[in-house]
Amino acid sequence: MGLDVYAGTLARYYAGNWKTILQQWGEANGVKVHVVRAQEQTEETAPPEEIEQGVRAWRDGLTEALSQAITSAVLWQEDCDTTPYYTDKPDWTAVEALMLFVCCRVTGETLPATIRKDFVLAENKVYQHFMQTKEGPISLFDSDYWWLPIGDAFMFSGCLPTGDEKVFATVGALRQELENINALEWKADEKTILEWTNSEGYPDDGCVGKYGLQIEKEHQEYDTVSLAKLAFSVLWRAVRHSEQYGTLIIYDY
């Protein structure tokens, strides 16, 4: 199952008025791309104006309920077609490489030089030890991968406009975590971090570029640090976009 990072309004997300990076690539290259998600929407999408109205009411009620925890001004846009969105595709292997990097650097264990395409983080002993011994929640590990455009750093449980329960975190929490990860070893400046989106990651064999979807036969193992830097860069870009435009960040899979 693939993984895309989406930074945009929730109204646009619900309306389906966005394209993954592979869909964009497909359109540019005359290739039909069909996206299958873990929870495929079966009901007919409501009109955009109804989606916007419902999401804005949910947003306003949620920020009111969180008013005691929010100390800074909140920029949170909600529309189906006006606020720009950002998306890219690190896939789960790169995201789990980043998480494994954190686990190893914090615990002092040796980071494997390579990571297999079929790597399962939950089965890794270093990850299990990290989860048992870490102090406090970390959104990259403990949330449901929904970050709301709030500058204060915290997590909480709540419901979406659809009624689905989620463990939310804030973009402020994600920024703080990314800064802490960068300080563990890389200490890279922002220019370098932004460049990693294009310079690091999956080998490019000319099929689908750096996205790693058509290279299973030739590549089964990847450079762990390179994949971790790719995921880090995509998340960093998502945070920048969220802070500029007031958008959520969501793992789409």
One pLDDT digit (tens) per residue for the chain, 253 residues: 689 999 999 999 999 999 999 889 888 888 777 777 666 554 568 899 999 999 999 999 999 999 999 999 999 999 999 999 999 999 999 999 999 999 999 999 999 999 998 999 999 999 999 999 999 999 999 999 999 999 999 999 999 999 999 999 999 999 999 999 999 999 999 999 999 999 999 886 544 445 545 444 567 899 999 999 999 999 999 999 999 999 999 999 9
Query: Got the DSSP string for 36-100?
Result: --TT---SPPPPHHHHHHHHHHHHHHHHHHTTTT--S-------SSSS--EEE--HHHHHHHHHH
Residue closest to 232 by CA, chosen among 66, 61, 94: 94
Tokens of 239: 């945070």
Domain assignment of residue 92, given as a range? 4-252
Burial class (CB within 10 angstroms; exposed 0-12, middle 13-18, buried 19+) of 232: buried
Are the C-beta atoms of 201 and 226 separated by less than 8 Å?
Answer: yes
Q: 181, 183, 175: which is closest to 151 by C-alpha?
A: 175
Please give the model's pTM, rounded to 2 decimal places: 0.92
State residue 175 phi and psi, 5-degree precision: -60, -45
Domain count, the chain: 1
Note whether 12 and 83 are within 8 A (CB): yes
User: How far is CA 32 from each of CA 1, 64, 177, rounded to the nearest angstrom?
Assistant: 18, 43, 37
Answer yes or no: are the C-beta atoms of 20 and 89 closer than 8 Å: yes
